[in-house]
């Protein structure tokens, strides 16, 4: 589990095809290399990925993850290339502060930024979700976009808006989003289970 509070911005250092639709990605970060072990989970732009190797190169920490065909199909990972910047978050530990909301880092679909509005010190984005996910998004509810926990402002049909404060802009990749940018979307777990209970009734 994760919280949607980004702890580092990583950079894709290499992408290596591995056959059968598998890709291995090497991602540079600022985490202590000794703290990254094989099998650990790290959310990369909101996608839970399993570490399969780690080390240091040119005085920089790196870790490697494998992306399978399903991950490449339902997320933006398939578009990543050398130089792509990604939001990183280590897995939640018991006793950690829950600063955002509970995030599984199991991406539900890819949303699209439709408009960007630059305000004084802040930004407002309009986002279009896949139609089948719109029912899970409500005003004042939570979503994770590229792994960042955000509060929904307004909702109209399959579109919604989010307002980004200066701190979030400073510590995530959100400031680079433009109209047309594809982002990983995870809806709120509680909304998903509530909808499921209503369906069963």
Q: In sequence order, what DSSP letters do the residues of 132-195 get, joined into one string?
A: GGGGG--TT-EEEETTEEEEEEEEETTEEEEEE-HHHHHHSSGGG--TT-EEEEEE-HHHHHHH
Q: What are phi and psi of 70, to 5 degrees?
A: -65, -40
- The H-or-E segment that residue 71 falls in is helix 69-74
- Catalytic machinery residues: 2, 41, 48, 50, 68, 106, 151
Cα separations in angstroms, 182 against 9, 54, 97, 130, 190: 18, 28, 29, 11, 24
As a whole number of angstroms, the distance between CA 61 and CA 169 comes to: 24
Taking the mean position of all CA atoms in its chain, how far away is CA 102?
A: 13
Residue 36 in 3-state DSSP? coil
As a whole number of angstroms, the distance between CA 17 and CA 22 comes to: 6
């Amino acid at each position: 589990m994760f919280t949607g509070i980004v702890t580092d911005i990583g950079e894709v250092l290499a992408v290596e095809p591995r056959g059968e639709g598998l890709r291995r990605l090497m991602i540079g970060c600022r985490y202590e290399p000794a703290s990254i072990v094989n099998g650990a989970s790290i959310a990369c732009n909101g996608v839970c990925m399993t570490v399969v190797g780690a080390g240091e190169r040119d005085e920089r920490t790196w870790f490697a993850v494998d992306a399978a065909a399903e991950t490449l199909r339902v997320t933006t990972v398939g578009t990543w290339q050398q130089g792509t910047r990604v939001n990183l978050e280590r897995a939640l530990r018991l006793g950690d502060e829950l600063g955002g909301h509970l995030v599984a880092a199991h991406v539900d679909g890819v949303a699209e930024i439709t408009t960007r509005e630059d305000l004084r010190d802040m930004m407002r984005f309009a986002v279009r979700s896949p139609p089948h996910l719109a029912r899970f998004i409500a005003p004042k509810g939570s979503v994770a976009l590229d792994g960042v926990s955000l509060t929904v402002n307004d909702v109209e049909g399959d579109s919604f808006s989010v307002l980004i404060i200066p701190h979030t802009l400073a510590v995530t990749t959100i400031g680079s989003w433009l109209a047309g940018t594809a982002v990983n979307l995870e809806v709120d777990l509680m909304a998903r289970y509530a909808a499921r209970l209503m369906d069963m009734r």
